[in-house]
Amino acid sequence: MKRTRGFTLIELMLVVLVIAILAAIAIPSYQQHLRKGRRANAEAFLSDVASRQQQYLLDARGYALGATALTDLNVTAPNDVTAYYTITVTPAAATVPPSFTITATPIAGGVQQSPTDDGVLSIDNTGSKQRIVGGVDKGW
């Protein structure tokens, strides 16, 4: 009698089960790393804009503010930031003394906001950096 070689159905089901368990652990971890990378890109962009604001203050004796601020600073937000965040520069009008706050807000319903809230990133004219999650400053 010749013995047939191969895998049994039980053995194949066990392999599939092990792969499913590994995937259930690895995929959320991978997504969290992507989220952190996107946040780091937004933080770098906000720092760059804040630096340009300081130079603009020296040249124009005021900050670039409102909807045209990024255009006035001659800076374009990269696609990997604009795809996940909305960038705003406030206040919309000049203040005495001059001030600004640059904010990156995750796009509603986007991957930066769910399943865990990434928070609103901001930097102001004093260099103060915040990441507000649920009303609490988590820091950069």
3 state SS of 20 = helix
CATH of domain 9-137: 3.30.540
At 30-77, the pLDDT tens digits run 988 999 999 999 999 999 999 999 999 999 888 998 889 999 999 999
- Domain borders along the chain are 9-137
At 84-114, the pLDDT tens digits run 999 999 887 778 888 999 999 999 888 887 5
